[in-house]
Amino acid sequence: MVALNEAKRRTKIGFEVEEIDTEQIARVLRDKTYVPKISKKPSKPSHDLELSARQLTGQPASLGIANGKARVISKSSDLFEMRKGEVLVCDAIDPNMTLVVPLSAAIVERRGGMLIHGAIIAREYGIPCVTGVADATRLIHMGDQVVVDGYLGIVTITSKANGPQR
């Protein structure tokens, strides 16, 4: 590692250990004018796998465990599509959204806290609720099958809406 740092200092160019072999390091240390040939790594992996979240954590706000298809609410008009037994996923429940809460199997909110409106309503109706789930509306998609654990504050995406089971 000392030799690599010295070679970097002498050539005044940046490179990583994986980009240069030991013979080139030795040559840089012997010949101050030599510039090593750096092989760049591919910027994108060659495989076509898509990474996605499986478990999201938040703050338990109402006890219980429930599962169902996710209904992501991003605007007021999405409320009209809510069906009984779906998991309500939103930024935060405002008082105008209270009418759909009894239809929900569970609630997942991006904003957090035990005293936010959604958590209070969930406890009143006995519906599991997890709040403070960072990027919940971005990571959970409409129709994803999810399990909401209101005891531990964990939301598990068991299967994607248009993808294979995990």
DSSP per-residue string spanning the chain: -HHHHHHHHHHT----GGGS-HHHHHHHHH-TT--PPPPPPPSS-SS------SEEE-EEEE--EEEEEEEEE-SGGGGGG--TTPEEEES---GGGGGGGGG-SEEEESS--TTSHHHHHHHHHT--EEE--TTHHHHS-TT-EEEEETTTTEEEEEE-TTS-B-
pLDDT, tens digit only, all 166 positions of the chain: 666 666 666 655 555 545 666 777 777 777 777 777 666 555 555 566 666 778 999 999 999 999 999 999 988 888 889 999 999 999 999 888 888 999 999 999 999 888 899 999 999 999 999 999 999 999 999 999 999 999 999 999 998 877 544 4
Catalytic entry in 8, 69, 117, 160: 117
Residue 6's pLDDT is 67
CATH superfamily of 55-159: Phosphohistidine domain (3.50.30.10)
Residue 165's pLDDT is 44
Residue 119's pLDDT is 93
Domain boundaries, the chain: 1-46, 55-159
Assess whether 117 carries a catalytic annotation: yes
